[in-house]
């Protein structure tokens, strides 16, 4: 079970949401799907960074247990982690590799906090880190917003006042891949959300509502990004989120 909460106002410069997930046997049986985000996760013993996924990742042996985490605000990757997002793409990296001994100290603080105080201590660690570092790239949230609204790459570049090459580089640095792939990933996420919220809607109607050219286009994109057919993908969402 996954529960997310919007970050507090003080934390929101760097973090979009905080979350808690309880993994049981069979969780994520169909994989973890790309969503254009980067998470820092505490599993009770270690802090790790879950980098941006370019396509779905199978997790056949997800370890049961409860983890807490934060989802970074788009544009805060280098400010918070000191690394570009593309260097973290399709990787799960110990936070120690990026923060050094500061990650060990943070893990000690979270372990000492325990229980209901873990997330508040986690937030305090991140606020301290954010304030001590460089500011986020404040253009990227707008890029992600426009990509989510199905704008073309050229239209996004014009809107934010960058050349397409500049847009690509800024997006790669902070999101992990270029704006064209980001549009594809966010369209997939829109499909998954629609599948959960509208269990009675058929595949053709879902394709149109999500922004695919037609059902065949949706099928190709689902296979390329997840390795699953749309029918299997939609069924998995409706099973997990009735």
Question: pLDDT band at residue 19, thresholds of 50, 70 and 90?
Answer: very high
* Mean pLDDT of all residues in 142-151: 96
- Could you count the other beta carbons within 10 Å of the beta carbon of residue 141? 16
Distance set, CA 169 to CA 43, 86, 89, 177 (Å): 33, 10, 15, 9
pLDDT of the residue at 181: 97
* Mean pLDDT of all residues in 56-64: 72
Decide: 153 and 167 in contact? Cβ < 8 Å. yes
Non-local CB neighbours of 126 within 8 Å, separated by 6+ positions: 11, 14, 15, 40, 70, 80
* 3-class secondary structure, 210: helix
Residue 23's closest CA among 44, 40, 53?
Answer: 44
Q: What phi, psi does 69 have (nearest 5°)?
A: -160, 175
Non-local CB neighbours of 164 within 8 Å, separated by 6+ positions: 153, 154, 157
Q: Is the pLDDT of residue 219 over 50?
A: yes
Distance CA 176, CA 237 (A): 25
Which tokens sit at 1? 């079970």
* Mean pLDDT of all residues in 146-160: 96
Q: Which residue has the higher pLDDT, 241 or 60?
A: 60
How do residues 170-215 score in pLDDT, each as one tens digit? 999 999 999 999 999 999 999 999 999 988 899 999 999 999 999 9
Question: pLDDT band at residue 162, thresholds of 50, 70 and 90?
Answer: very high
How do residues 75-95 score in pLDDT, each as one tens digit? 999 999 999 999 999 999 999
pLDDT of the residue at 137: 96
Residue entry with tokens 């939609």: 234
Percent helix, strand and coil across the chain, each to the nearest 5: 50, 15, 35
Q: Which residue has the higher pLDDT, 211 or 62?
A: 211
User: Options 3.40.50.920, 3.20.20.20, 1.20.120.1810, 1.10.10.60; which CATH number does 138-242 get?
Assistant: 1.10.10.60
The DSSP code for 143 is H
Decide: 111 and 206 in contact? Cβ < 8 Å. no
- Could you count the other beta carbons within 10 Å of the beta carbon of residue 181? 20
pLDDT of the residue at 26: 60
How do residues 97-143 score in pLDDT, each as one tens digit? 999 999 999 999 999 997 889 999 999 999 999 999 889 999 999 99
Residue 179's closest CA among 163, 201, 196?
Answer: 163
The domains of the chain are located at: 2-132, 138-242
Q: pTM above the 0.85 mark?
A: yes
Question: pLDDT band at residue 2, thresholds of 50, 70 and 90?
Answer: confident
């Amino acid at each position: 079970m996954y529960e997310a909460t919007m970050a507090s106002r003080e934390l929101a410069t760097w973090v979009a949401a905080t979350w808690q997930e309880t993994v049981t046997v069979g969780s994520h049986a169909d994989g973890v799907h790309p969503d254009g985000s980067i998470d820092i996760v505490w599993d009770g013993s270690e802090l790790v960074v879950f980098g941006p996924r370019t396509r779905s990742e199978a997790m056949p042996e997800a370890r049961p247990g409860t983890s807490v985490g934060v989802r970074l605000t788009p544009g805060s990757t280098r400010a918070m982690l000191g690394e570009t997002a593309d260097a973290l793409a399709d990787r799960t990296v110990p936070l120690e590799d990026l923060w050094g001994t500061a990650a060990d100290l943070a893990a000690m603080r979270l372990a000492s906090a325990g229980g209901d105080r873990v997330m508040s201590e986690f937030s305090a660690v991140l606020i301290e880190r954010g304030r001590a570092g460089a500011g986020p790239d404040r253009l990227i949230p707008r890029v992600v917003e426009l990509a989510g609204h199905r704008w073309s790459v050229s239209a996004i570049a014009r809107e934010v006042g960058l050349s397409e090459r500049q847009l690509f580089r800024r997006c790669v640095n902070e999101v992990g891949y270029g704006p064209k792939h980001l549009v594809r990933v966010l369209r997939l996420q829109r499909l998954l959300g629609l599948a959960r919220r509208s269990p009675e809607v058929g595949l053709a109607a879902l394709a149109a509502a999500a922004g695919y050219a037609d059902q065949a286009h949706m099928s190709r994109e689902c296979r390329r990004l997840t390795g699953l057919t749309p029918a299997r993908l939609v069924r998995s969402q409706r099973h997990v989120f009735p």
